[in-house]
Amino acid sequence: MLEAVVAELEDRLSGARFEKIYQPESDTLIAKLWTGRETLRLLFSASPRFSRLHLTEQKFANPSAPPRFCQLLRARLKRLVSVRRISGERIVEFQCSGPEKESYRLVVELMGRHANLLLVDAQGIIVDLWERRDASVGGRALLPGQPYQLPPPRPLQSLESWDGELPQDAVSTEDVARFLAQTLTPISWLAALDLASGQSAGHNLQELVRDLLEALQEKAFEPVVGTLADDLVVSPFAPRFLELKSRQRFDSPSQAAEAYYRQLIEESGDLGEQQFLRRLVARHQKRVKGRLAKIREQEKDLDKADKFRLYGELLLANMHLVRRGMEQVEVENYYEDPPSRVVIDLDPRRALHENADDYFRRYKKMCRGAEHVERRLHETQQEMDWIDGVAFSLSEAREAEDLVDIRSELEEAGLVPSAGRMEKSFARNRRPRPQAALSPGGFRVYWGKNSRTNDYVSRELASDGDFWFHAYQVPGSHVLLKVTKKGEAVPEEDLLYAAAVAAAYSRAAQSGKVEVMAARAEDVRKPKGARPGLVTVAAYRTVMVKPLIPSKESW
């Protein structure tokens, strides 16, 4: 499969120019290359479980501050000259040229937990690499300034040179497949098992190997992904003798590889950063929603408090009707107009005043509980509003730094461990960067992309006299229209423009009309201890507007 991907890359990328190189996650690098006809994205992954190399159609966020090795590659690589796989190894070399026509090799080692990416100069010296290792890791020292050495060669034969001889102990189909997979290159276990199955069906094994070699040399790929014995498999050729379940055909080896690894990663639970955070947030939303429902049920029970007080007062007012030993008494409720009859349960072991005292005691207890329930309801509703806002920010995130902000917020809330999956050092002490555009009248309009930038817009960027906007009762961006001086008159057209931006960057954006809150900035306050992005608004009006995403010319 790797041989097929490399053949595809050689055909499509030879001579291509490096447009951009970026690192969206700690173990993933993306290179955008211009072929003269199209821009293609090449994915390198050094994931210990899913190290891989292929073209990708997936779009990845681009961090604003690239890590060290990514910066080096940007500076040194100008054009991709050729691609080749090292025979017998899961190692691919990209021959590249630099800005001054200097020669480099970008070496991709796809060897599980020892996966790595290295930049090697024309003299074979390692300029730098993704992960530096001494000789205790994998048996080779991989350090800058040292010569690059391939792993010790394995005793493998090429498909072309194999003479067709099988060892005497290769009797069963599995024995033959194991021999082929361990002896020949390039060949996968799936291809070896298919060849061995063909031999068991009466075909000449050497001729089958020749057919496979011919298809490989002619690049007659028919990539497939499917399951065999409940295991997900991928192959550049459709098996001839094995039956794959749920078989999917693809137009290129890269497309098949991407589909294969995407399914493997999803099944393993080792998701990409954005999808990982989305699932985590969705789980927390479900928990908070359940807690909120329970508290509201408790709130309904509190309605009984007034009934207990009423029963106590009615018992005292009807002392002449109650005797010890009674289980119930029916009295007239003179608090209603017209009066009604009500039945009150009694404890037959207690005297009248004891029964009345019990109802008063239950009333006071429920009143105290009401304060607790009210506080919990307020806190849980705030948490619900906050996590809904985080979920909305995740759905709108387009850049890696947005995900870093969101993850940092979740870390502070204790919902995710502090150990990051992405390069996050650039996020510390980084000033939030809200989006901005000009209204028709020339007023600057700002809006946040997540809780962190929303806080910045509402708390630090806003001044008295500015106008603040937010979609009514739905998660969305905080939007601010800045005035040049306090008290300046702002035309209604510009206010409605800012309101339309708030509608567009909210969960209600797909609606034809959205109700938006409009307030003075001085009426917007952040309560002490409130979650990021949460504010209270003392006074506001609402307007109905059609969502509007500002044109790039106004940004």
The full 3-state SS of 248-272, as one line of letters, equals EECCCHHHHHHHHHHHHHHHHCCCC
For residue 92, the cross-strand partners are 85, 108
* Phi and psi torsions of 456, nearest 5°: -65, -45
**How confident is the model over 419-437, as a mean pLDDT?**
59
Which of 160-169, 511-520, 543-552 holds the top average pLDDT? 511-520
Supply the pLDDT for residue 286.
92
Lookup: tokens for 301:
């029970």
The HSE-up count of residue 432 (CA atoms within 13 Å, CB side) is 24
* Phi and psi torsions of 381, nearest 5°: -65, -40
At which residue do the structure tokens 């007062």 appear? 313
Supply the pLDDT for residue 46.
87
SS3 307: helix
Which position has the higher pLDDT, 523 or 306? 523
> What contacts 336, CB < 8 A, 6 or more positions away?
none
> What contacts 376, CB < 8 A, 6 or more positions away?
295
User: Helices 352-396 and 273-301, interaxial angle, to 10°?
Assistant: 160
pLDDT-based confidence at residue 64 (cuts at 50, 70, 90) = low
Q: How far apart are CA 345 and CA 326, in angstroms?
A: 9
Which position has the higher pLDDT, 342 or 368? 342
Contact present, 46 and 113 (Cβ < 8 Å)? no
Using the predicted structure, report yes or no on whether residue 83 has a pLDDT greater than 90.
Answer: yes
The whole-chain average pLDDT of the chain stands at: 87
pLDDT tens digits for range 381-416: 888 888 888 888 888 776 666 777 888 888 888 887
Architecture of domain 2-129: Roll (2.30)
Supply the pLDDT for residue 196.
93
Task: Give the distance from CA 473 to its chain's centroid.
Answer: 25
**Rounded (to 5) percent helix, strand, coil in the chain:** 40, 25, 40
Rounded to whole angstroms, the maximal C-alpha distance in the chain is 114
Contact present, 114 and 137 (Cβ < 8 Å)? yes
Supply the pLDDT for residue 170.
83
Contact present, 498 and 479 (Cβ < 8 Å)? yes
